[in-house]
């Protein structure tokens, strides 16, 4: 009669302690990769939630009909969030050119091109920043199953060695090595599955946020173009009022 297998084979700590050094190395590496990926997942989840909440609040301020000058003044001279920074940079270029006096069509086109380059640079930097760390999740998601499979193959090789040394095929002879092998596979999947899900979810979120930045950049350029193309009203009797420098994103402006 075959004796029952030891119940300690279901204990992860016992499986690790009795494993071969190669399998132990695989387990430790996969556990470290899992901790690293979960650190990135938690950090990215908090950052994306906070970033989208701030962007939504700022968009509400812009769409409220307030002057963009007032919104930019409330954001400060050096805002941290990308949307207020895009607004501040655009208004700085707008004021600098207006301070030189009346603009020709060529100068207006050059202003729009200058603003477009500045906004594109901000969007590129922010896109790179929000995607930082996603590469680690991709590597963990794709490599962990294969690393776990290597530990599995090595454990099965140990099982065959145990069979050859014992001269029998009893379950108690091969079960420990097979359990170690399967445990390595389980750790690999435990590291890969959350990383894969998080990578895809965060990639979609990052793409949507980049789209918000690009849409806001288009709105700012449209506001500048409308202001540059607005016909100048005939001046009343002297002294004539100075032209307004305020901008807003309303179509009627």
Cα-based distances in Å from 139 to 30, 45, 47, 145, 150: 12, 19, 21, 11, 16
**8 in Cβ contact with 178 (< 8 Å):** no
pLDDT digits (tens, 9 = 90+) for 164-176: 776 666 666 677 7
Give me the pLDDT at residue 252, please.
45
Q: Which helix (H) or strand (E) holds 224?
A: helix 171-229
Token pair 């288009």 is found at 218
Residue 6: phi and psi, rounded to 5, are: -70, 135
d(CA 146, CA 12): 20
Question: When comparing pLDDT for 235 and 241, which is higher?
Answer: 241
Contact between 55 and 81 under an 8 Å Cβ cutoff? The reply is yes
Distance from chain centroid for Cα 233: 48
Ordered alpha helix ranges (H), 19-75: 21-63, 68-75
Q: What is the pTM of this model?
A: 0.76
- pLDDT-based confidence at 9, cuts 50/70/90? low
Top-confidence residue, 237 or 186: 186
When comparing pLDDT for 21 and 237, which is higher? 21
**How distant, in Å, are the alpha carbons of 81, 86, 252 from that of 224?**
22, 13, 13
pLDDT at 38: 94
* Residue 230 confidence (pLDDT) above 60: no
């Amino acid at each position: 009669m075959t004796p029952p297998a030891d119940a300690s084979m279901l204990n992860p700590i016992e499986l690790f302690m009795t494993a071969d050094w190669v399998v132990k190395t695989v387990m430790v590496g996969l556990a470290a990769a899992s901790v690293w990926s979960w650190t990135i997942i938690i950090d990215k989840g908090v950052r994306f939630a906070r970033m989208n909440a701030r962007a939504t609040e700022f968009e509400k301020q812009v769409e409220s009909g307030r002057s963009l000058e007032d919104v930019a003044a409330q954001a400060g001279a050096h805002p941290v969030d990308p949307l207020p920074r895009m607004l501040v940079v655009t208004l700085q270029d707008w004021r600098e050119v207006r301070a030189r006096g009346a603009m020709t069509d060529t100068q207006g086109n050059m202003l729009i091109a200058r603003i477009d380059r500045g906004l594109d640079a901000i969007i590129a930097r922010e896109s790179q920043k929000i995607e930082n760390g996603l590469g680690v999740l991709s590597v963990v998601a794709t490599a962990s199953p294969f690393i776990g499979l290597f530990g599995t193959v090595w454990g099965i090789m140990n099982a065959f060695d145990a069979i050859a040394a014992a001269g029998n095929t009893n379950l108690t002879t091969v079960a420990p090595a097979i359990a170690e092998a399967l445990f390595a596979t389980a750790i690999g999947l435990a590291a890969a599955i959350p990383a894969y899900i998080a990578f895809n979810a965060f990639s979609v979120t990052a793409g949507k946020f980049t789209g918000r930045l690009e849409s806001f950049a288009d709105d700012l350029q449209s506001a500048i173009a409308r202001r540059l193309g607005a016909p100048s009203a005939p001046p009343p009797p002297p002294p004539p009022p100075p032209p307004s420098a305020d901008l807003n994103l309303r179509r009627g402006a």
